[in-house]
Amino acid sequence: MEFEALVQGGLDLISSHAYIAAPILAVVAVFAYFKFKLFLKMIFACLVLGTIVYIVLFIVDLTSTGIKSTEKLLDQPNQAIYKLN
Q: What is the dihedral of CA 46, 48, 53, 57, to 10 degrees?
A: 140
Q: Where are the domains of the chain?
A: 1-34, 37-85
Residue of 65, 84, 61 whose CA lies nearest to 73: 65
pLDDT for the residue 30: 92
pTM above 0.75, yes or no: no
pLDDT for the residue 80: 56
pLDDT for the residue 36: 92
CA separation for the pair 24, 10 (Å, rounded)? 14
CA separation for the pair 39, 41 (Å, rounded)? 5
Collect the ranges in the chain with pLDDT lower than 70.
Answer: 1, 73, 75-85
Residue type, 11: L
